[in-house]
């Protein structure tokens, strides 16, 4: 986590989505005091299933976790409490703002990101038992392949947003065409009918439905309002959704490790004593005797 900090720093815009492991929590609090931390909804759902909460409370949890509105969240939590007080207590202990989209302070967006972590986990499952140099080479080789494939996909994408977000924007836009809208001021537009009306504010890109500001993608009301006043929909989307950012993520080339004779190793590395990593000892096994380890510097 501290190496990651050297690369990305700490900021209020940074959000960690974790599986609530204590070690992760500690590292984030210590190293990234400005960042925000929430947990993966899918992970909480898995915990609810493991704890045998009934199907209707799990169904209600999914709705409560993903709703954008605080009032709707509170209504659903009331229902969960009626269905299972035990489930309600469990979710309360996990802290509502930690898993609820409506209550979380920070940008969660609306993209499932734990697939990356899961893919890495499954890729490393068997490789973990390899000696460390083979493990590192296995990771390097896999990353090289993954980066190449993703870079190729991103480079062939000719739309402004990435393919997936372009489709999403199209679907939202079509839903918006069915709505009625009229402008209130230069920046405010009212969208909807009678008691189902939302107000879009283009001065800070928000909507009373909360989807616009939480997803950083226009909601149906915002697409309708933007069309009415001739605003570009793309200017309302977070740059993170653009194909340019997608390409940027995979721009670095991962090279193979060349022949050892060609290595240029800096002096400070040559003089470093490298010890094996600290690992958890299996029960019953004596601790390593450090004096037995080969701690001599690497050969020149
Ligand atoms: Zn809206």
If you average pLDDT over every residue of the chain, what do you get?
89
Buried b or exposed e, range 184-218, using 16+ CB within 10 angstroms: eeeeebbbbeeeeebbbbbeebbbbbbbbbbbbbb
287 lies in a domain?
no
Q: How far is the CA of 90 from the centre of ligand 1 (A)?
A: 31
119 lies in a domain?
yes
Query: Does the pLDDT of residue 293 top 60, yes or no?
Result: no
Q: Last residue of a domain, which of 49, 74, 99?
A: 99
- Which structural domain, as residue segments, surrounds residue 218? 163-241
Same domain, 178 and 227: yes
Q: How far is the CA of 124 from the centre of ligand 1 (A)?
A: 42
CB atoms < 10 A from the CB of 128, how many?
9
294 lies in a domain?
no
Same domain, 86 and 145: no
Q: How far is the CA of 191 from the centre of ligand 1 (A)?
A: 8
Same domain, 6 and 93: yes
Same domain, 173 and 221: yes
Same domain, 10 and 54: yes
Q: What was the pLDDT predicted at 117?
A: 77
The pTM (predicted TM-score) of the whole model is 0.79
Q: For 88-109, what is the mean pLDDT?
A: 92
Count of domains observed in the chain:
3
Among 30, 17, 23, 28, smallest CA distance to 98 is for 17
Q: Which residues contact 169 (CB under 8 A, 6 or more apart)?
A: 161, 217, 218, 223, 233, 237
Confidence of residue 195 (pLDDT cuts 50, 70, 90): confident
Same domain, 30 and 93: yes
Q: How far is the CA of 167 from the centre of ligand 1 (A)?
A: 18
Q: Last residue of a domain, which of 99, 126, 145?
A: 99
Q: How far is the CA of 230 from the centre of ligand 1 (A)?
A: 17
Q: How far is the CA of 199 from the centre of ligand 1 (A)?
A: 7
Q: How far is the CA of 104 from the centre of ligand 1 (A)?
A: 18
178 lies in a domain?
yes
Q: How far is the CA of 241 from the centre of ligand 1 (A)?
A: 19
Confidence of residue 283 (pLDDT cuts 50, 70, 90): low
Q: Which residues contact 175 (CB under 8 A, 6 or more apart)?
A: 220, 223
Q: How far is the CA of 272 from the centre of ligand 1 (A)?
A: 58
List, in sequence order, every residue forming a beta bridge with 196; answer none if it has no partner.
193
In a 10 Å sphere around its CB, with 0-12 CB exposed, 13-18 middle and 19+ buried, how is residue 38 labelled? buried
Q: What was the pLDDT predicted at 281?
A: 67
- The whole-angstrom distance between residue 243's C-alpha and the CA centroid of its chain comes to 18
């Amino acid at each position: 986590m501290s190496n990651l900090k050297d690369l990305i720093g700490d900021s209020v815009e940074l959000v960690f989505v974790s599986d609530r492991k204590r070690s992760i929590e500690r590292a984030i609090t210590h190293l990234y005091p400005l960042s925000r931390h929430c947990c993966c909804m899918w992970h909480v759902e898995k915990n609810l299933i493991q704890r045998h909460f009934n199907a209707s409370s799990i169904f209600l949890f999914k709705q409560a976790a993903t709703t954008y509105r605080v009032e709707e969240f509170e209504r659903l939590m009331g229902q969960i409490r009626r269905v299972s007080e035990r489930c309600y207590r469990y979710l309360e202990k996990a802290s509502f703002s930690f898993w609820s989209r409506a209550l979380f302070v920070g940008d969660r967006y609306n993209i499932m990101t734990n697939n990356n972590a899961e893919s890495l986990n499954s890729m490393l499952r068997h490789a973990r038992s390899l000696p460390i140099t083979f493990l590192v080479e296995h990771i390097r080789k896999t990353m090289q392949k993954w980066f190449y494939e993703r870079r190729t996909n991103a480079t062939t994408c000719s739309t402004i947003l990435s393919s997936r977000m372009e489709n999403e924007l199209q679907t939202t836009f079509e839903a918006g065409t069915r709505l009625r809208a009229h402008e209130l001021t230069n920046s405010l537009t009212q969208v909807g009918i009678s008691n189902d009306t939302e107000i879009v504010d283009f001065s800070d890109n928000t909507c009373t439905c909360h989807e616009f500001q939480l997803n950083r993608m226009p909601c149906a009301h915002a697409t309708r309002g933007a069309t009415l006043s001739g605003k570009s929909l793309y200017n309302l989307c977070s740059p993170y959704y653009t194909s340019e950012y997608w390409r940027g993520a995979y721009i670095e080339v991962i090279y193979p490790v060349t022949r050892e004779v060609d290595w240029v190793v800096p002096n400070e590395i040559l003089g470093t004593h490298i010890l094996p990593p600290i690992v958890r000892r299996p029960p019953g096994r004596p601790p390593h005797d450090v004096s037995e380890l080969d701690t001599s510097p690497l050969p020149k």
